[in-house]
């Protein structure tokens, strides 16, 4: 499938985007190993999270889905999971595979984790190393999926310094730590999203965080509860981009999660001159939320603070497009992690924007984007949902039609992307690739 986008007139609107993907994954996993019922509202019914749902059901958890965004999970407790009769297919989701590896390392049965072609190419050594230190036995294809996890029944606690900031690796270790003897400690070189710690605490687990070190004791019981999932800031960032690029738009995005470990994209855009405001700040369960008000803005380039990278790691495709529309040049550094996402996002975005007439200089862990004017053309998403959506929005201000190929993965994180964008004035349509 492909997107075709023509120059558009984005207009004023009030919108809601789908639920947070990171929180939805964790709600399914933690609700499944809790004792008692967990009710989830706001669940993201995208392909990634539905793969996690299928995996937990295959492990013996009864989960009802009366509506796409609502879940009722009958938790089985820490040791109530059962071996799946078939491999657990996690589709395109690196989050699911890394967190599931931690969850399953302490079970007393074997599991096999598989995924699609994209996921099979993503490195898993960063979780295999610490989990193996805890006593897990994990077989892989030279550090890549599929992963076969040989059940041990118990693990040993470790103290682990993350080589690079990664919420997925941190979470995998913490989940394994629930099944370990002793205190598991993880130290991170930069702040990463803390949804796992927040949700564990809300379910009765004592998790301590101090000066970049997170620790928990093994054997703690989780208790089922009501979990409300806020709208996904990563998805909201595409609406924010559409409004910023427009000539005269004023858009409000309701009920968006603004966890401080996730708001780097807002900080970076504001530093570039974006007219962004947070309204109606409140809490939804254990997560802070707000309505985000964004108005069309002239942006200016500059050097992006590397300390914000871990707080905006998923939003850099959006930031590349914003930088291309800005005056001057914008330099990103310390973003080497993007090279091992669903695609090499530095390379994919640079390639796509060059096709559209934007000058981009790449380094191994960064890029400099020179502001300019988007032209038309056909670009490749490389099967990456965030690259596809970001390049599509570049088409709203291009001089001619922009076609984005290989967009099927968009439904992994943002089901309903096209109808929502059409509703705010984006001239976008989908069709089969030739």
> DSSP class of residue 310?
G
Which pair of structure tokens corresponds to residue 41? Answer: 């509202």
Average pLDDT for 57-71 = 98
pLDDT digits (tens, 9 = 90+) for 72-124: 999 999 999 999 999 999 999 999 999 999 999 999 999 999 999 999 999 99
Whether the CB-CB separation of 393 and 235 falls below 8 Å is answered with: no
Beta bridge partners of 72: 39, 64
pTM: 0.96
DSSP state of 383: T
Sorted by where each starts, the structural domains of the chain and their CATH numbers stand as: 2-19+230-431 (3.65.10.10), 21-228 (3.65.10.10)
Interval 40-56: pLDDT, tens: 999 999 999 999 999 99
Residues near 427 by beta carbon (within 8 Å), at least 6 away in sequence: 5, 6, 7, 8, 396
Question: How many CA atoms, within 13 angstroms, populate the side-chain half-sphere of residue 179?
Answer: 27
Told to judge if 314 belongs to the known catalytic residues of this protein, a careful annotator would answer yes
Would you say residue 285 has pLDDT above 90? no
Are the beta carbons of 424 and 10 closer than 8 angstroms? yes
| Active-site residue (options: 291, 314, 406, 411) | 314
């Amino acid at each position: 499938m492909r997107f075709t986008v023509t120059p558009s007139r984005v207009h004023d609107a009030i919108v809601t985007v789908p639920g947070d993907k990171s929180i939805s994954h964790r709600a399914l996993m933690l609700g499944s190993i809790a004792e008692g019922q967990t009710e989830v509202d706001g669940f993201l019914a995208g392909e990634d999270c539905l793969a996690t749902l299928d995996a937990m059901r295959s492990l013996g958890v009864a989960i009802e889905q009366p509506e796409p965004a609502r879940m009722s999970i009958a938790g089985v407790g820490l040791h109530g999971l059962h071996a799946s009769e078939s491999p657990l297919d996690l589709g395109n989701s690196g989050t699911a595979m890394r967190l599931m590896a931690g969850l399953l390392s302490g079970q007393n049965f074997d599991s096999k984790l598989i995924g699609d072609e994209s996921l099979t190419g993503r490195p898993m050594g960063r979780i295999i190393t610490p989990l193996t230190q805890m006593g897990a036995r994990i077989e892989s294809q030279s550090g890549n999926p599929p992963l076969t996890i040989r059940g041990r029944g118990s693990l040993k606690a470790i103290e682990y310094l993350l080589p690079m900031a990664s919420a997925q690796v941190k979470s995998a270790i913490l989940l394994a730590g629930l099944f370990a003897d002793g205190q598991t400690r993880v130290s991170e070189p930069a702040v990463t999203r803390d949804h796992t710690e927040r949700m564990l605490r809300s379910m009765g687990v004592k998790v301590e965080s101090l000066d970049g070190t997170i620790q928990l004791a093994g054997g703690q019981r989780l208790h089922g509860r009501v979990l409300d999932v806020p709208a996904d800031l990563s998805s909201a960032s595409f609406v924010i981009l559409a409004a910023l690029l427009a000539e005269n738009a004023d858009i409000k995005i309701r009920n968006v999660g603004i966890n401080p470990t996730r708001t780097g994209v807002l900080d970076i855009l504001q530093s570039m001159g974006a007219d962004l405001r947070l309204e109606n700040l409140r809490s939804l369960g254990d997560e802070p939320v707000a309505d985000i008000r964004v108005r069309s803005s002239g942006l200016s380039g500059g050097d992006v603070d590397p300390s914000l990278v871990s707080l905006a790691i998923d939003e850099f495709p959006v930031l590349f497009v914003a930088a291309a529309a800005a005056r001057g040049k914008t330099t990103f550094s310390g973003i080497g992690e993007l090279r091992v996402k669903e695609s090499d996002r530095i390379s994919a975005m640079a390639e796509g924007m060059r096709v559209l007439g934007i000058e981009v200089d790449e380094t191994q862990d960064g890029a400099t984007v020179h502001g300019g004017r988007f032209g038309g053309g056909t670009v490749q998403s490389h099967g990456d949902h965030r690259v596809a959506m970001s390049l599509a929005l570049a088409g709203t201000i291009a001089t001619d039609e922009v076609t984005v190929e290989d967009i099927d993965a968009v439904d992994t994180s943002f089901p309903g992307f096209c109808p929502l964008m059409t509703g705010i004035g984006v001239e976008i349509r989908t069709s089969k690739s030739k």
